[in-house]
Chains A and B, each alone.
Chain A
Amino acid sequence: MLAKRIIPCLDCDLGIPSGRVVKGIEFKQIRYAGIPWELAEKYYLDGADEIVFLDITASSDRRETMVNVIKKTSKNVFIPLTVGGGIKSIEDARSAFNSGADKVTINTAAIENPELINQIADRYGSQACVVAIDAKRRDGWFECSIYGGRKFTGIDAIEWAKEAEERGAGDILLTSMDRDGTYDGFDIELTKAVSERVRIPVIASGGCGNPGHILEVFQKTKAQAALAASIFHYGKYKIGDVKNYLKEHGIHVRL
C-alpha cells in the first residue's frame, strides 16, 4: 500500500543570488526561514517524502536562481523534488527538469493555458505534472485564484481539478487561501470535496499548525499527502516526530 506523504514546502524568495526561504501569512506578510538547499537537506534527513519549492519572487532573473537552487539541492537530497512558481511554458518546465527537478507544479499558467498540462504530461509523464489550485471559500463553492491569490477567476475548484486530471495532471496541490498561514488546520470540507471527485492524489495544503491537523486531514478526507511549511520551518515540530505520531494513530507512513 502506498504511504501517505508528508511534504515540507519551501516558499523561496529568489531576489537574492542564493535565494532564501520565507513564509507568508495569508499570502501577505513575510518572515525569513533559511537557505533553500540547507532547509531541504535538513527535511530530507528528517524523513520528508518529497520537497516542494515555490518561487514567490517577481524578479525576472529568478529562473537562473531557481536552477541553481535545484542543482545544489539535488546533490544531497534523494527524494522527489517539485518546483513551482513562475513556470509558464514547456521551456520553463524543461529547465526545471534539466536541473534536477522531478515534478513541476503549475497554477496561473495552467488556468490561462490549460494545454500546458497536456504538454508537460505528454513530454515528461503525468507523474511530473502537478496542478496547484489556490481555492477561496465562496457561498456554497470554492473559487480558483491565480497570481498568488491576487486575481480571482470565477472557476470552480472541483471542476477545475477534474479537468486537470483529464488533461494529465499527476497530483493536485490544493491550497485553502482562507486557511493558509492561520495554523487553524486544513480546510477539511474543501479537501474532502476535491479528493472525492478526482482519481489522482490530492495534496492538502494551507493551515497546518500541528501534527493533529495532518492526522485530521488523513482521517477525514481522501488526501494522499499533506503539505506544510511553518510548523517545520521554525523547529516547532520535526518531520520524523510527526510521522511517528501519525503511525501511532494508524496512518500508513514511511518511517
Chain B
Amino acid sequence: MIAIVDYGMGNIFSIRNALEKVGADVKVTSKAEELGNSDGVVIPGVGSFGDAMKQLLPFEEKIGDSIEDGIPFLGICLGMQILFEKSQESKEPGFGIIPGEVIRLPNNVLVPQMGWNEIEIKKGIDLLDGIENGDFFYFVHSYHCVPENREMIIAITEYGTEVVAVINRDNIYAVQFHPEKSGKKGLLILKNFLRSTRC
C-alpha cells in the first residue's frame, strides 16, 4: 500500500488517480501514524514552502522514521523541496534530510516555469527505466533545489539555469516536475516507483 500524505495543500486527486492507474493500492492519509504501515510514501505538493512546512510538522518524525526504515519515498515538486534544509521562499526551515537549499529561479526567464520541459539524464537509476534523454515532463514551480552533494543529481532540465529535475539517495526519490501530469512518461516513473516498493 502506498500512502499519499494529505497535508491540506492543494488537491491530491491527480496523484491518487495516477498511482491507481499504474496499479497501486493507494491510501490517502492525514494521520502520521499510518505511514509506518505503508510500503511507500508519496508527498505531493502545490503551494508555498512555509505553509507546507507548518502543515507537515506533525508528520516530520514519522516521515524521518519511514525513510530510515528503508521505505521508498517519493517527493513531488514542493514535496521535493521540503526535504532540503532551507528555502529562499520562507523563513521556516525544511526537513533537512538532504543537505542543500531551495532557491528562486533566475530573473532572465519567466517565473513560474510552467509547461513541458525536457530532461537530461545524468545517471541511470531504476526510477527512470524506460525514460530517455529529451523526454518531456510537466513543470510548475518558482523555486528549485540545489543539493550540496551533486552525486544525488539524477536528471536536470534547463530553464534559465540548470534546474535539478530528479534526485535520489538510497530509498529517497524526488522530482521537481509533476509525473501525475506528465502523460505516459510520467505514469512510467510512478510505475517504476511502485516497483521499488514491496507492492
A216 to B: closest C-beta gap in Å: 21
Complex Cα gap A253–B7 (Å):
35
Chain A residues positioned under 8 Å from B46 (CB to CB): 124-125
CA distance A201 to B136 in the complex (A): 18
A5 and B11 in contact, given A74-B17, A78-B21 (Cβ under 8 angstroms): no
Q: Which residue of A lies closest to B158 (CB)?
A: A1
Docked-complex contact B17 and A2, CB < 8 angstroms: no
Asked whether, in the complex, the Cβ of A78 is within 8 Å of the Cβ of B112, the reply is no
**Would B110 and A200 count as touching, CB distance under 8 A?**
yes
Which chain A residue has the least Cβ–Cβ distance from B48? A125
Known: A5-B115, A126-B112, A224-B115. A100 touches B187 (CB 8 A): no
B114 beta carbon closer than 8 Å to chain A: yes
Q: Mark A15-55, 1 if CB is under 8 A from B, else 0.
A: 00000000000000000000000000000100101000000
- Whether B117 pairs with A78 at a CB distance below 8 angstroms is no
Cα distance, A5 to B117, chains bound together (Å)? 11
Counting chain A residues whose Cβ lies within 8 A of the other chain, the interface size class is 20 to 34
Using A5-B115, A127-B114, A254-B116 as known contacts, say yes or no to A80 and B138 having CB atoms under 8 A apart: yes
Of the candidate stretches B33-41, B148-156, B175-183, the one touching chain A is: B175-183
- Chain A residues near B180 (CB, 8 Å)? 78
Using A102-B181, A125-B47, A254-B136 as known contacts, say yes or no to A78 and B114 having CB atoms under 8 A apart.
Answer: no
Known: A78-B181, A127-B140, A199-B110. A3 touches B117 (CB 8 A): yes
Name the distance in Å between B52's Cβ and chain A's nearest Cβ: 13
Q: Look across to chain B and name the residue whose beta carbon is closest to the beta carbon of A73.
A: B17
Known A74-B14, A78-B186; contact A1-B114, beta-carbon cutoff 8 A: no
Q: A79-B138, A79-B181, A201-B114 are in contact. Are A74 and B13 (CB under 8 A)?
A: yes
**Which label, helix, strand, loop or mixed, suits the secondary structure of the A interface?**
loop
Instruction: Report yes or no: B186 in contact with A1, Cβ–Cβ below 8 A.
Output: no
* Residues from 1 to 24 in B contacting A, C-beta threshold 8 Å: 10-11, 13-14, 17-18, 21
> A1-B158, A80-B181, A200-B110 known; A75 and B17 CB under 8 Å?
yes
**CA A170 to CA B47, docked complex, whole Å:** 15
* Cα–Cα, bound, A127→B11 (Å): 14
The answer for the CA separation of A224 and B118 in the assembled complex, in Å, is: 16
Q: Which of B13, B112, B181 has the most CB of A within 10 A?
A: B13
Identify which of A78, A98, A127 contacts B187 (C-beta below 8 A): A78
Contacts of B186 in A (CB 8 A): 78
Beyond A75-B21, A201-B110: 10 further Cβ-contacts under 8 Å? Answer: A1-B158, A2-B113, A74-B13, A75-B17, A78-B21, A78-B183, A79-B183, A80-B138, A127-B114, A201-B115
Q: List 28 A-B contacts (CB under 8 A).
A: A1-B158, A2-B113, A2-B116, A2-B117, A3-B116, A3-B117, A3-B118, A5-B116, A44-B183, A47-B183, A49-B115, A74-B14, A75-B21, A78-B17, A78-B18, A78-B181, A78-B184, A79-B138, A97-B10, A100-B11, A100-B17, A102-B181, A126-B114, A127-B112, A127-B140, A201-B115, A254-B116, A254-B118
The 5 closest A-B pairs by CB, nearest first: A254-B136, A2-B115, A3-B116, A100-B13, A127-B140
